[in-house]
Amino acid sequence: MKPTVLVTGATDGLGKALAAELAGMGARVLLHGRDQERGEQTLAELRAQTGSETLGWYRADLSSLAEVHGLAGQVAAEHERLDVLVNNAGIGTTLPGDGRRMESADGHELRFAVNYLAPFLLTRLLMPLLVGSAPARVVNVSSAGQAPIDFDDVMLERRYSGVQAYCQSKLALVMLTFDLAEELGENGVTANCLHPGTYMPTKMVFAAGVTPHDSLETGVRATARLVAAPELAEVSGRYFDRLAEARAHPQAYDLEARRRLRELSERLTGVAAPLSTRLPVEGNGGWGAASRASSPRGARWARLVARVVAGMCRAGAADLSVRLSEHERIVRPGSLRQRRGHASRGGRRRGSSSATGRGGSGTRTSVRRALLLCAGTPRAAAASV
CA proximity to 59, closest of 15, 1, 9: 9
Binds ligand NAP by CB under 6 A, chosen from 46, 71, 200, 227: 200
88 binds ligand NAP (CB under 6 A): yes
Q: Which of residues 358-377 bind ligand NAP (CB under 6 A)?
A: none
Give the nearer residue to ligand NAP in terms of CB position, either 123 or 365. 123
How far apart, in whole angstroms, are the C-alpha atoms of residue 40 and residue 35? 9
Name residues whose C-beta falls within 8 Å of residue 101's C-beta, 6 or more positions apart in sequence: 109, 110, 156, 157, 160, 165
139 binds ligand NAP (CB under 6 A): no
As a whole number of Å, the end-to-end CA separation of the chain is: 39
83 binds ligand NAP (CB under 6 A): no
- Is-catalytic flag, 166? yes
205 binds ligand NAP (CB under 6 A): yes
What secondary structure does DSSP assign to 65-114, as a single string? Answer: HHHHHHHHHHHHHH-S---EEEE-----SSTTTTT---B-TTSSBHHHII
Binds ligand NAP by CB under 6 A, chosen from 90, 128, 162, 334: 90
How far apart, in whole angstroms, are the C-alpha atoms of residue 371 and residue 366? 9
Give the nearer residue to ligand NAP in terms of CB position, either 9 or 185. 9
33 binds ligand NAP (CB under 6 A): yes
How far apart, in whole angstroms, are the C-alpha atoms of residue 88 and residue 140? 6
177 binds ligand NAP (CB under 6 A): no
140 binds ligand NAP (CB under 6 A): no
Binds ligand NAP by CB under 6 A, chosen from 47, 199, 237, 358: 199
CA proximity to 317, closest of 267, 381, 364, 268: 381
337 binds ligand NAP (CB under 6 A): no
Amino acid at 242: R
Q: Choose the stretch contacting ligand NAP; rule: CB under 6 A; options: 192-200, 245-253, 294-302, 307-315.
A: 192-200
Look up residue 185 and give its DSSP letter: G
SS3 335: helix
* Sign of the torsion angle spanned by Cα atoms 59, 314, 320, 179: negative
202 binds ligand NAP (CB under 6 A): yes
15 binds ligand NAP (CB under 6 A): yes
Give the nearer residue to ligand NAP in terms of CB position, either 65 or 306. 65
Determine which helix (DSSP H) or strand (DSSP E) holds 371, and give its type and residue range.
helix 361-374
Give the nearer residue to ligand NAP in terms of CB position, either 227 or 370. 227
Cβ neighbour number for residue 56 with a 10 Å cutoff: 16
How far apart, in whole angstroms, are the C-alpha atoms of residue 3 and residue 30? 11
- Please check whether residue 86 is in contact with residue 7, taking contact to mean a CB–CB distance below 8 angstroms: yes
Q: Choose the stretch contacting ligand NAP; rule: CB under 6 A; options: 202-210, 225-233, 244-252, 377-385.
A: 202-210
162 binds ligand NAP (CB under 6 A): no
Q: Choose the stretch contacting ligand NAP; rule: CB under 6 A; options: 12-20, 147-155, 279-287, 311-319.
A: 12-20
355 binds ligand NAP (CB under 6 A): no
Q: Which of 160, 166, 239, 253 is catalytic?
A: 166
* 84-87 and 136-141 strand pairing: parallel
Binds ligand NAP by CB under 6 A, chosen from 65, 129, 141, 355: 141
Q: Which residues are tagged catalytic?
A: 166
Which parts of this chain interact with ligand NAP (CB under 6 A)? 9, 11-15, 33-35, 38, 61-63, 88-91, 114, 141, 143, 195-197, 199-200, 202-205
